[in-house]
A and B are shown apart, each in its own frame.
Chain A
Amino acid sequence: MKRHLISAADLTHDDATLILDTAEELARIAGRSIKKLPTLRGRTVVNLFFEDSTRTRISFEAAAKRLSADVINFSAKGSSVSKGESLKDTALTLQAMGADAVVIRHPSSGAPHRLATSDWIGGSVVNAGDGTHEHPTQALLDAFTMRRHLAGGPGGGPTFHRGPGDGTGRDLAGRRITVVGDVLHSRVARSNVALLTTLGARVTLVAPPTLLPIGVEHWPCEVSYDLDRALAGCDAVMMLRVQSERMNAAFFPTEREYSRRYGLDGTRMAALPEHAIVMHPGPMNRGMEITAEVADSGRCTAVEQVANGVSVRMAVLYLLLGGNEPAVTTHRTEESK
């Protein structure tokens, strides 16, 4: 069985393109007065959030509702989890309520995988961020945004900030993507490296050595400590949030030094190629990894990424739940069955 989305690395090139193409069609629904499709009527999607999240939960909720699924929101705060209930018992409860899909965010890496490979629940499991491991739908929406801007122009070229184009059927072959900042704590970076590589892009990670994970040299990407050198010639630069809530040690001397060496300001943005876009998964720390000048410029796609998130999550839910079996393959879950 192949019915879960746990890791961006599980997606083949065809799967990823199918999801992005489906999202491209579904994005057009957002422009209509009736933003709803009857496709998942009668299906139940549970948002199981063990960790605070606003945009991801709302995004999944909007996506499921636009497909007419019933949505149950479950957050650990104020639930039986705070009374000490285990993941297993929570899952069994959800199974008893007839959940067709469980969208899970959990502070522990691997929790969605545990849920998917157990026999606790019968539905699909969608990873909405687990610890410092993966956040596959974020990577999909980032790739979707990049494809629209970098491959949405005439002939598959960049759009030069004339608004997002239509990248249907295209991938990111040969595009150079720079991911900057707190890679160590970032599940977004990990998922993005996997997915962007699958789509043919070349990824460079830029971070202080203290904010790079052990084993990063085995990732399919380049690593640099020099932001200015990495910016020249890149097609998109993705600024990661400095996750101070996960920083239990001193990873860099001062915030000021961090932002001077690894923050994106107007001068650095001007050094980017003309067509390059600036991305941020949000929430932004203005003045830290990105200045207000850059965040508010026409090249920053942060707000667009949020809108694209709904389309991409609709595509994922549709492809996993729309038929009698999922339309995307995910190797890992296949093996485990």
Chain B
Amino acid sequence: MVEDPVEPARPVLEAPDIARVLTRITHEIVERAKGADDVVLLGIPTRGVHLADRLAARLAKITGRDIPVGSLDITMYRDDLRLGPARALARTEIPDEGVDGRLVVLVDDVLFSGRTIRAALDALGDIGRPRAVQLAVLVDRGHRQLPIRADYVGKNLPTSLRETVKVQLSEIDGRDCVLLGTAPGHGAA
């Protein structure tokens, strides 16, 4: 793919913003889960996993307890598998505590069509039966195609379908930021 540099992607969240936003989400989780006693954080690969790790570290600081954190790969549950070649799988790592009877908070970077979360709910159903499932995302860019909403949103980012939202995290990309750009072609990414 050749990037079309008509309009360079501009950052809408920088590193300090992301740190602040994650801290706020952490406090919201503690508040809504009344102390976060039974919270299990599951990040959706790739960047959701690192966001979940960061939330878990912050939760541990606030509550003084270790918060179980893991990852949930949704590849095998995607509804668009047959639209491209088979995709490589990512790691699913369920904490030893399991998910049965617990409050599972799914963590992802961008909430867009909602199809990823639909797949994640299906994947979770094969692993156990949580008491409840909630969703935390760094960015909600709108354009839902399914009746799904997030419980914790870092930033609501009204976008057009011609725009792209790219989250960069220091663990993978070397720096923290959220970039808003223009798609080289058109339509949904």
Q: Total A-B residue pairs with C-beta atoms closer than 8 Å?
A: 54
Within 8 A of B (CB), among A299-332: 318-327
Q: How far is the CA of A108 from the CA of B91 in the complex (A)?
A: 40
- The answer to whether A32 and B76 have CB atoms under 8 Å apart is no
Q: How far is the CA of A212 from the CA of B124 in the complex (A)?
A: 52
Q: Which of A18, A32, A326 contacts B127 (CB 8 A)?
A: A32
Give the interface size bracket for A toward B. Answer: 20 to 34
* CB of A315 to closest CB in B, whole Å: 9
Q: Name B's interface SS.
A: loop
- Selecting from B4-12, B81-89, B155-163, B165-173, the interface stretch reads B81-89
* CB of A272 to closest CB in B, whole Å: 33
A 13-56 binary contact with B (CB < 8 Å = 1; else 0): 00000100110011010001010111100000000000000000
For residue B92, CB closer than 8 A to chain A, the reply is yes
Given A38-B122, A323-B81, A326-B85: A25 and B92 interface contact (C-beta under 8 Å): yes
A32: nearest chain-B partner, CB-CB? B127
Given A36-B126, A38-B76, A38-B77: A26 and B85 interface contact (C-beta under 8 Å): no
Write out the residue numbers on chain B whose beta carbons fall within 8 Å of the beta carbon of A326: 85-86
* CB of B19 to closest CB in A, whole Å: 31
Given A25-B92, A28-B92: A323 and B77 interface contact (C-beta under 8 Å): no
For residue B109, CB closer than 8 A to chain A, the reply is no
* CB of A64 to closest CB in B, whole Å: 14
A 165-182 binary contact with B (CB < 8 Å = 1; else 0): 000000000000000000
Write out the residue numbers on chain B whose beta carbons fall within 8 Å of the beta carbon of A36: 126
For residue B90, CB closer than 8 A to chain A, the reply is yes
- The answer to whether A18 and B84 have CB atoms under 8 Å apart is no
Q: How far is the CA of A26 from the CA of B76 in the complex (A)?
A: 10
For residue B73, CB closer than 8 A to chain A, the reply is yes
Number of interface residues of B (CB under 8 A): 18
- The answer to whether B88 and A18 have CB atoms under 8 Å apart is yes
**Residue with the greatest number of chain A CB neighbours at <10 A, chosen from B77, B81, B122:** B81
Q: How far is the CA of A25 from the CA of B86 in the complex (A)?
A: 14
- The answer to whether A22 and B85 have CB atoms under 8 Å apart is no
B77: nearest chain-A partner, CB-CB? A38
* CB of A118 to closest CB in B, whole Å: 24
- The answer to whether A26 and B86 have CB atoms under 8 Å apart is no
- The answer to whether B126 and A32 have CB atoms under 8 Å apart is yes
A36: nearest chain-B partner, CB-CB? B126
Write out the residue numbers on chain A whose beta carbons fall within 8 Å of the beta carbon of B77: 37-39
B89: nearest chain-A partner, CB-CB? A25
Write out the residue numbers on chain B whose beta carbons fall within 8 Å of the beta carbon of A39: 76-77, 81
Q: How far is the CA of A28 from the CA of B84 in the complex (A)?
A: 25
Q: Which of B73, B81, B83, B122 contacts A25 (CB 8 A)?
A: B73
**Residue with the greatest number of chain A CB neighbours at <10 A, chosen from B83, B86, B89:** B86
Write out the residue numbers on chain B whose beta carbons fall within 8 Å of the beta carbon of A320: 86
Q: How far is the CA of A18 from the CA of B86 in the complex (A)?
A: 11
Given A32-B127, A37-B76, A38-B77: A324 and B89 interface contact (C-beta under 8 Å): no
Write out the residue numbers on chain A whose beta carbons fall within 8 Å of the beta carbon of B82: 322-324
Write out the residue numbers on chain A whose beta carbons fall within 8 Å of the beta carbon of B85: 323-327
Given A25-B91, A39-B76: A319 and B127 interface contact (C-beta under 8 Å): no
Q: How far is the CA of A323 from the CA of B122 in the complex (A)?
A: 19
A37: nearest chain-B partner, CB-CB? B76
Given A28-B92, A32-B127: A324 and B76 interface contact (C-beta under 8 Å): no
* CB of B51 to closest CB in A, whole Å: 21
- The answer to whether A26 and B89 have CB atoms under 8 Å apart is yes
Given A25-B73, A36-B126, A38-B76: A322 and B88 interface contact (C-beta under 8 Å): no
B 64-100 binary contact with A (CB < 8 Å = 1; else 0): 0000000001001100011111111111100000000
- The answer to whether B73 and A322 have CB atoms under 8 Å apart is no
B 32-69 binary contact with A (CB < 8 Å = 1; else 0): 00000000000000000000000000000000000000
**Chain B residues within CB distance 8 Å of chain A:** 73, 76-77, 81-92, 122, 126-127
Sample (28) of A-B pairs whose CB atoms are under 8 Å apart: A21-B88, A22-B88, A25-B89, A26-B89, A28-B92, A32-B127, A34-B126, A34-B127, A38-B76, A38-B77, A39-B76, A39-B77, A319-B86, A320-B86, A322-B76, A322-B81, A322-B87, A323-B81, A323-B83, A323-B84, A323-B85, A323-B86, A323-B87, A324-B82, A325-B85, A326-B85, A327-B85, A327-B87
Give 20 new A-B contacts, CB below 8 A, not counting A34-B127, A323-B84. Answer: A18-B88, A22-B88, A25-B90, A26-B89, A32-B126, A37-B76, A38-B76, A38-B77, A39-B77, A39-B81, A318-B76, A322-B76, A322-B82, A322-B86, A323-B82, A324-B82, A324-B83, A324-B84, A327-B86, A327-B88
